[in-house]
């Protein structure tokens, strides 16, 4: 058998008794050959030890079939799950994934994205990361579509997929109002993130519509340690809230740890707590957290479909897709 490095698609075609174009179609995601021909090609390729040269093909087709996936942080378990589902969905559609870590600030994201562009990617997915106007224009000039996942920006030239965050905030308020809470607080994430702004606005608007105002507020910046300090600020006071809406489950766990283990308060008897995301930990008995579930499977499907459509047809309209969240009532609120 010839060495794998020297085997070409022509060798495979000759051994299988098919055309070279048939071999090319067999190894091209989305292309089709008959089952009988596919089996011949598979057997011949296996016997010869042939694997297609993806990089060489990208030079010919102008498409690398690589997607750059940029993630801010993985401490919150919502994001590893999102990355896993995005990667699987892209691979099922014949794309390869390059994962890059970046800080949340735009200034730190730009050099990371420049590295991604050096790989001749076909598209970019930014998971909860913002994009500057300069960076967006650079990608547009290179005909590389960008998808924002779980992050939205006030621009009409960026694709995005989020849950309907304003409605999610309303849902959280409605749960508290139904249980007749009067001193309702909010533990926020990044104050300038549109997802945070929308969740908080929906929450406060629903409270105001019911004749209530926000009792108190602090920011935890989506970080466990900072959320611990924020929870202390909110609850280590004489006039404590009797309900707390937290901008994500990760910070809700921090707040619950402070409320229970530092201050000796009971959940939900003394303080009711609602999170946002519906991570796996929120279902664990130790937390059993009432939360607003982001429909992750639907969000992933929408993001991947929109991005691939934009790659295959650059005239595909740019859309911001918002998917309705779903309340998950568990043990941290009064039924």
Q: What is the pLDDT of residues 255-300, one digit of tens each?
A: 999 999 999 999 999 999 999 999 999 999 999 999 999 999 999 9
State how far the Cα of 282 lies from the Cα of 232, in Å rounded to an integer: 21
3-state DSSP call for residue 108?
A: helix
pLDDT at 1: 46
CB 219 within 8 A of CB 191: yes
Helix (H, G, I), strand (E, B) or coil at 32: coil
Quick one: average pLDDT of 88-115? 79
| Among 82-96, 103-117, 179-193, 219-233, the least confident range | 103-117
For 3-63, strand residue ranges (E) read none
pLDDT at 53: 62
Distance CA 237, CA 228 (A): 15
Of residues 165 and 194, more confidence is placed in 165
Residue 39: its pLDDT value, please? 87
What would the pLDDT profile of 130-150 be if each residue is shown by its tens digit?
A: 777 777 778 888 888 999 999
Rounded CA-CA distance 294/303 in Å is 14
Q: How far apart are CA 252 and CA 330, in angstroms?
A: 14
pLDDT of residue 193: 87
Q: Which of 129, 146, 112 shows the shortest CA–CA distance to 72?
A: 129
Taking alpha carbons only, the member of 282, 218, 209 closest to residue 248 is: 282
pLDDT value at 325 more than 90: yes
Percent share of the chain, pLDDT over 90: 60
| Whether pLDDT at 121 is above 60 | yes
């Amino acid at each position: 058998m010839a060495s794998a490095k020297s085997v070409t698609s022509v060798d495979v075609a000759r051994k299988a008794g098919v055309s070279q174009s048939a071999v090319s179609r067999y190894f091209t995601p989305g292309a089709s050959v008959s089952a009988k021909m596919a089996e011949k090609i598979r057997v011949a390729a296996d016997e010869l030890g042939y694997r297609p040269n993806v990089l060489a093909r990208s030079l010919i087709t102008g498409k690398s079939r690589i997607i750059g996936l940029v993630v801010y942080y993985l401490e919150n378990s919502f994001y590893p799950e999102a990355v896993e589902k995005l990667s699987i969905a892209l691979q099922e559609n014949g794309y390869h994934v390059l994962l890059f870590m970046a800080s949340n600030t735009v200034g730190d994201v730009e050099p990371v994205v420049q590295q991604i562009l050096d790989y001749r990617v076909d598209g970019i997915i930014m998971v909860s990361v913002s994009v500057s106007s300069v960076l967006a224009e650079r990608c547009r000039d290179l005909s590389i579509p960008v998808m924002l996942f779980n992050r939205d920006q006030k621009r009409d030239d960026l694709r995005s997929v989020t849950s309907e965050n304003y409605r999610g905030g309303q849902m959280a308020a409605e749960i508290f109002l139904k249980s007749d809470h009067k001193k309702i607080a909010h533990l926020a994430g990044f104050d300038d993130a549109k997802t945070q702004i929308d969740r908080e606005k929906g929450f406060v608007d629903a409270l105001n519509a019911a004749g209530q105002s926000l009792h108190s507020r602090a920011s935890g910046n989506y970080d466990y340690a900072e959320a611990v300090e924020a929870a202390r600020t909110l609850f280590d006071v004489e006039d404590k809230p009797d309900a707390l809406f937290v901008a994500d489950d990760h910070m809700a766990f921090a707040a619950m740890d402070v409320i229970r283990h530092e201050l000796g308060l009971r959940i939900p008897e003394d303080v009711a707590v609602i999170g946002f995301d519906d991570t796996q930990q929120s279902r664990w008995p130790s937390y059993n957290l009432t939360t607003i579930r982001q429909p992750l499977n639907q969000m992933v499907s929408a993001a991947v479909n929109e991005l691939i459509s934009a790659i295959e047809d650059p005239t595909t309209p740019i859309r911001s897709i918002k998917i309705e969240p779903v309340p998950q009532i568990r043990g941290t609120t009064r039924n």
